[in-house]
Amino acid sequence: MKKAVIFSMVTALVMATVAAVQAQQRDGISIVGSSTVYPFATVVAEKFGKAGTFKAPKIESTGTGGGFKLFCGGVGIQHPDISNASRAIKASEFEACRKNGVTDIVEVKIGYDGIVVANSKKTPALKLTSKDIFLALAKEVPDPKGGENLVANPYKTWKDVNASLPNVKIEVLGPPPTSGTRDAFIELAMEPGALKFEPLKKLSKEDAKKFTKLFSSIREDGAYIEAGENDNLIVQKLGANPNALGIFGFSFLDQNTDKIQGSFVDGNQPTFENIASGKYPLSRPLFFYVKKAHVGVIPGIKEYLAEFTSEKAWGKDGYLSEKGLIPMPDAERKQVAENVKATKAMTEVK
Amino acid sequence: MNNTLSPPAASPPRRTIEIVNRSLKRRYRAERRFRFYGLLAIMLSVLFLALLFASIVGKGYSAFWQTSIRLAIFFDPEVIKKDTLVNADYAALVRESLFKRFPQVEERQDKRQLTSMLSSGSVYRLRDMVLQDPDLVGKTAEVWLPADDDMDMLIKGHFRRDLPESERRVSDKQIAWIERLEAEGRLERRFNTMFLTAGDSREPELAGIWGAVSGSFFTLVITLVLSFPIGVAAAVYLEEFAKKNRWTDLIEVNINNLAAVPSIVFGLLGLAVFLNFFGLPRSAPLVGGLVLTLMTLPTIIIASRSALTAVPPSIREAALGVGASKMQMVVHHVLPLALPGMLTGTIIGMARALGESAPLLMIGMVAFIVDIPKGFTDSATVLPVQIYLWADSPERAFVERTSAAIMVLLAFLVVMNAGAIILRKKFERRW
Amino acid sequence: MLTLTRMDETALAHTMVETDSKPRSGDDPGKRRVSREIRETVGRVTVDDPRMVCRNVNVYYGDKQAIKNVSVDIGRNEVLAMIGPSGCGKSTFIRCLNRMNDTIDGCRVTGEIILDGTNIYDKSVDVVPLRAQVGMVFQKPNPFPKSIYENVAYGPRIHGLARNKAELDECVETSLRKAGLWEEVKDRLDHPGTGLSGGQQQRLCIARTIAVNPEVILMDEPCSALDPIATSVIEDLIDELRIQYSICIVTHSMQQAARVSQRTAYFHLGDLIEVGPTGRIFTNPSHQLTQDYITGRFG
Ligand SMILES: Nc1ncnc2c1ncn2[C@@H]1O[C@H](COP(=O)(O)OP(=O)(O)O)[C@@H](O)[C@H]1O
Ligand SMILES: [Mg+2]
């Protein structure tokens, strides 16, 4: 008994020491970042690993901001090599990186992701405009009776918002504030919707801060329901409640076309083609960022980049498109691929 | 029942038995009521448990079967050269075989649809076959290859065939081909060994839980090896040796507090201490085990202490009375008697650790990891994290795999808790 | 310290106890009040050939004094019985004799208890050999949850009394024989000790105690949980053991004290009221309290 206790303690100690020594090397690529890019990066990583030459990269889904925090922690094996992002790096993040010695960063734009506003196939698809979306979801809207003042959102049904829409209660299941999808949705749908109103347009020029707060405040009276980070859950709930709408990434629509459909936004439905051509407005670019100092130190980074930017991966008929990534136009792909090949570091944040 | 019991009062004789009889009905009613509530509570919880199990098993059992397609593969020596065994174009072999079977398919678009019926993992299966037996090259063999997850969903009835073509992920042509393969006996639902033996994958038909199970195993080994001896030693010291004073009271309060701290806090602590300070590797079972050790220690200490207090003092006195030293008393008599309780506490702590994912997020174990971890410092994930990741995946086929992984996790938990009961029964002694 | 003056039996101070003036109601002992002045022991506390000598022993549980200034000798090869109403401190006192009170938090002992010329409460004294020398049998039979053999062998084993298995076997056998249990258990030594009957368990505990070959055996109400037949077996056993050991026994049965002991000590609320040869105590007690107790007026 006593011996067993001592023995196990000693073993643990030894193992901890061994591990501390082993921590001095790393043979696989470490990737962190956006949960939106995660489903695409993981596919590449798996193919890359199974090809047999290198270990499959490890990919943590930390969210874009969390990813940059880790990525910008410094240069060295304990810091990740690549950070996925569902938006471009912010100037503040770039600065933080620089402060920690992460000076040379290669930006790789990989394609687009659509954000869909979908409902169950049991009811017809809605034909929305960004104005409708703003009116239905903003916390404060311009007074429907006219005038310049803002009132708490009075709209109860879609018909209230726009006479051409059906007379059903507004009920939207969407991501919580922590989610990148929500940020993108606000930027792509709510802001343009708000700008459709003359007084608000004026406001945006006079008091940008107040305007930002206005269009990014989503109503909290129950019409918008925060459904958590799990998009599958939203899809399931839409099946159970045909009158509800859900907001999530295009890949979830792509995988569930038998159950749900995307609403038209400004005249276009979220199809692969419409997003690729830019007709569908709710789409955002996806990126990843590479620490140049790690290229050539951690084995396989170059090859991973080559795999990701190859036509069979991110091309029009590539395996990433099967997973729902919307490819960039040919010319842009070529441009980015060349940058990657030359590992051209970005000099400033656009 | 004796008359003499009644007090010698003038008032109407009040015999105890009469008073008792009068209240008897009420007492029994109360008892029946209580029993009924108790039964109701049990039935409700059993019902919910049954519902949970039924829904999980109902959704998940089909993941243990996977649609496979049998193809005659010609291991073309033109394609597989001696020096390119590893990275030969095995996909070409599959393509060739399919085109031979469906010679009428000619258009490029159709050919793509045809080849996409098989999993992209088929090539690895063929590669492994050749690597294992290089003599295959030049021969033709009938090989069962996994079907694509969409085909699998179709066969399993998760996709409806009667919907318009545009609304399903499987085209009319593919359905026709599937039906032909089925008629020829080349399509079967076979036991999904991949699910039990493979690591994670983004292709549902290739995804398995073995990577997560191994990760959980390594993590729990660290947790057990550290938390059991430390927990037991701490409990023994506090209970048997430490003087009862303000310091031990303070420690006790803190331990009880720690047991109630949300697990994510331990993750933050682990990040700060093990990763940032000691520089241990991210995503490693070693660190996961350390974090979970912090989390389970209070549970084990509390359980061990109550197991120690449950040892009757007469046994201690008996040992001391024949001249055993305190240490001998503890090691020879108290510990063996307290061990079942300690083990139960430990297993319950372990079971909790097995189901924990929140603290592992902070130390990078919530990650996509293809390779199966082989040691304590390899990148790894754990079962609950795997469940979480799959539940978050868009592919429909991951729905059943999520439930199946939950079944596996539940099975482990049931085994562990049953183990706790068996251990307790086995080591339990009368005194 | 043995330098203490031996108290002369005749020179003992008279009782300072006063009973209150109310007539005794006899059937209501709660009404009797005894003033709480210091009482001195009646009778001769010393013996000619003492094994243990206790002088001015005080025991406190926290602030509460449970034993007040008790002095008494335990003679060689004699059985000293301790009687008294429950809660009077018999157990507390007997547990002082092998320092079992050490295990109780907040228990403090002052005074001297001398064994082989040293005060057992001396800082230099180790309790482990002390307890090997002064064994104890408890009120409730408490065999280890192990086999009969292991129960008896445990003491010799931890003290290293047997050099080999054969010696250990022999030790177990003789101990069980002395405890009068051998014939009953010799075929099932590997059975659990807890599976025996109450009386057998208590004899097993006695065997366990004598297996380490102590010089003094302390017994705290060893028969209180036993039926009369088992009790008489144990009593006979005690009588035999006296030949070899000094025995100190607490009992609440006066008959038992009368049967097994040579000397009897009567405790009352922490005081040692009276000590004397058993025969005299039961036939002709000197102290009122002793008289009241043995005549069954309270207790
Ligand atoms: N562990 C203890 N802590 C505090 N008081 C105690 C303890 N054990 C006994 N006492 C007190 O000491 C007195 C003597 O107890 P005890 O020696 O057990 O009496 P007896 O054995 O004669 O019945 C009682 O008043 C009892 O309440
Ligand atoms: Mg007692």
A323-327, C1-5, C179-183, range with the lowest pLDDT = C1-5
Average pLDDT rounded to a whole number, residues A47-71? 89
pLDDT category of residue C14 using cuts at 50, 70 and 90:
very low
| Other chains touching A, judged by 3 or more CB pairs under 8 Å | B
Say if residue B378's pLDDT is above 60: yes
Backbone angles phi, psi at C220, to 5 degrees: -105, 100
pLDDT category of residue A234 using cuts at 50, 70 and 90:
confident
Q: What is the pLDDT of residues C159-176, one digit of tens each?
A: 998 899 999 999 999 999
| Residues from chain B contacting residue C210 (CB–CB below 8 Å) | none
Backbone angles phi, psi at C269, to 5 degrees: 45, 45
Average pLDDT rounded to a whole number, residues C105-119? 91
Q: Check residue A158 and give its pLDDT.
A: 92
CATH architecture of C2-7+38-141+215-294: 3-Layer(aba) Sandwich (3.40)
What strands lie across the sheet with C263-268, from one edge to the other? C134-137, C216-220, C246-250, C79-83, C263-268, C271-277
Torsion A268-A272-A277-A280 (CA) sign: positive
Instruction: For residue B223, give every residue at least 6 positions away whose Cβ sits within 8 Å of its Cβ, in sequence order, or none.
Output: B289, B292, B293, B296, B350, B353
A54-58, A138-142, B3-7, B197-201, range with the lowest pLDDT = B3-7
Residue pair A61/B393 in contact (Cβ under 8 Å)? The answer is no
Nearest CB among B169, B203, B369 relative to A58 is that of: B369
d(CA C147, CA C172): 12
* CATH number 3.20.20.60 is the correct assignment for the domain at B210-427: no
Of B94, B120, B386, the C-alpha closest to A51 is: B120
Q: How high does pLDDT run on average in chain B?
A: 88
Query: Which structure tokens are listed for B302?
Result: 């509390």
CA geometry: angle A332, A333, A336, nearest 5 deg: 85
Residue pair A61/B389 in contact (Cβ under 8 Å)? The answer is yes
Residue pair A217/A177 in contact (Cβ under 8 Å)? The answer is no
- What letter would DSSP give residue B147? B
| Other chains touching C, judged by 3 or more CB pairs under 8 Å | B
Average pLDDT rounded to a whole number, residues A259-276? 90
- Ligand 2 center from residue C104 Cα (angstroms): 15
Q: Check residue C172 and give its pLDDT.
A: 94
d(CA B191, CA B68): 9
d(CA C220, CA C97): 12
Contact A258 B163 (CB under 8 A): yes
Q: Is 0.95 exceeded by the ipTM? A: no
Q: How high does pLDDT run on average in chain A?
A: 87
Q: How far is C171 from chain B (nearest CA, A)?
A: 15
pLDDT category of residue A3 using cuts at 50, 70 and 90:
low
CATH architecture of A26-113+285-341: 3-Layer(aba) Sandwich (3.40)
Of B268, B371, C156, C267, the C-alpha closest to A49 is: B371
Nearest CB among A22, A23, A230 relative to B391 is that of: A230
pLDDT category of residue C66 using cuts at 50, 70 and 90:
very high
Contact B201 A46 (CB under 8 A): yes
| Residues from chain B contacting residue A39 (CB–CB below 8 Å) | 202, 393-394
Say if residue B221's pLDDT is above 90: yes
Q: What is the pLDDT of residues C266-281, one digit of tens each?
A: 999 999 999 999 999 9
The topology under which CATH files domain A114-284 is D-Maltodextrin-Binding Protein; domain 2 (3.40.190)
Q: Check residue C35 and give its pLDDT.
A: 42
| Percent of chain C residues topping a pLDDT of 90 | 53
pLDDT category of residue B165 using cuts at 50, 70 and 90:
confident
| Residues from chain B contacting residue C159 (CB–CB below 8 Å) | 323
d(CA B354, CA B342): 18
Q: Check residue B291 and give its pLDDT.
A: 95
Residue pair C29/C298 in contact (Cβ under 8 Å)? The answer is yes
Q: What is the pLDDT of residues B47-74, one digit of tens each?
A: 999 999 999 999 999 999 999 999 999 9
Q: How far is B33 from chain A (nearest CA, A)?
A: 39
Q: What is the pLDDT of residues B261-289, one digit of tens each?
A: 999 999 999 999 998 888 888 889 999 99
pLDDT category of residue C112 using cuts at 50, 70 and 90:
very high
Residue pair C32/C298 in contact (Cβ under 8 Å)? The answer is yes
Q: How far is B398 from chain A (nearest CA, A)?
A: 10
| Residues from chain B contacting residue A78 (CB–CB below 8 Å) | 275, 279, 281-282
Backbone angles phi, psi at C218, to 5 degrees: -105, 135
Contact C100 B317 (CB under 8 A): yes
- Using the atom order of ligand 1, give the atom closest to the CA of residue C92: 17
Average pLDDT rounded to a whole number, residues C72-78? 92
pLDDT category of residue B1 using cuts at 50, 70 and 90:
very low
pLDDT category of residue C22 using cuts at 50, 70 and 90:
very low
Q: What is the pLDDT of residues B297-321, one digit of tens each?
A: 999 999 999 999 999 999 999 999 9
Is there an atom of ligand 1 within 6 Å of C199 CB? no
Q: Check residue A145 and give its pLDDT.
A: 81
Say if residue C37's pLDDT is above 80: no
Contact B322 C205 (CB under 8 A): no
Say if residue B173's pLDDT is above 80: yes
Numbered ranges of CATH 1.10.3720.10 in chain B: 210-427
Q: Check residue B429 and give its pLDDT.
A: 58
| Percent of chain B residues topping a pLDDT of 70 | 96
CA geometry: angle B320, C275, C7, nearest 5 deg: 105
d(CA C60, CA C62): 6
Question: What torsion, rounded to 10 degrees, do the Cα atoms B36, B39, B44, B45 define?
Answer: 150
Task: Tell which of B238, B239, B322, B428 to mutate to test the C interface (max C CBs under 10 Å).
Answer: B322
List, as one string, the DSSP characters of A96-116: HHHHTT---EEEEEEEEEEEE
Say if residue B431's pLDDT is above 70: no
d(CA C276, CA C285): 9
3-state secondary structure (DSSP) of residue B129: helix
Query: Which structure tokens are listed for C218?
Result: 């302390």
Q: Check residue A350 and give its pLDDT.
A: 67
Token look-up 């995503």 returns: B283
Task: Tell which of B271, B395, B398 to mutate to test the A interface (max A CBs under 10 Å).
Answer: B395
Q: What does each C-alpha distance from C93 to C59, C60, C134 come to in angstroms?
A: 8, 11, 14
Say if residue C23's pLDDT is above 80: no
- What letter would DSSP give residue C42? B
Query: Which structure tokens are listed for C12?
Result: 């003992």
Run of H or E residues at B125: helix B122-132
Query: Which structure tokens are listed for C194?
Result: 């807890």
| Residues from chain C contacting residue B314 (CB–CB below 8 Å) | 138, 140, 142
d(CA C84, CA C16): 19
Q: Check residue B128 and give its pLDDT.
A: 87
Q: What is the pLDDT of residues A316-338, one digit of tens each?
A: 888 898 888 999 988 999 999 99
CA B28 to chain centre: 45
Residue pair B66/B194 in contact (Cβ under 8 Å)? The answer is yes
| Percent of chain B residues topping a pLDDT of 90 | 47
Q: Check residue B298 and give its pLDDT.
A: 93
